[in-house]
Structure 1
Amino acid sequence: MVVKLFDELGPRYGARNGGYLRILKCGFRDGDNAPMAFVELLDRPDSDVVVEEEAVAA
């Protein structure tokens, strides 16, 4: 995990001063009422976006 952080993600976000994550609160978990959130890295590779667009078009 640490190797991926420094070898892949570090160079990808080297030019950014901040704003690496998008955090969306998604309510509370059933059972223990713990707060939940969806955490997403920004500037993902374009291949993920293409797959999502194809799934919507199908």
Structure 2
Amino acid sequence: MTFAKGAALSDPSGVFDASLDAGTRRAVDVHESDDLDEAAFMALIREAVDLNRS
């Protein structure tokens, strides 16, 4: 999942794991067997929604 303005988001839990050297975007690669921190992932999505609304 790619976040177009991901570099502007805080990610204290380290959910982003791809496109980390990109200037603006960040991404999360999610695979079926991955152990995803759901609370941190949802917080990231909420922050992205807020950023896109502003």
**TM-score with structure 2 length normalisation?**
0.28
Task: Tell me which protein shows more strand as a share of its residues.
Answer: 1
Structure number with higher relative contact order (C-alpha < 8 Å, ≥ 6 residues apart): 2
Structure ID, larger Rg: 1
Q: TM-score, normalised by structure 1?
A: 0.27
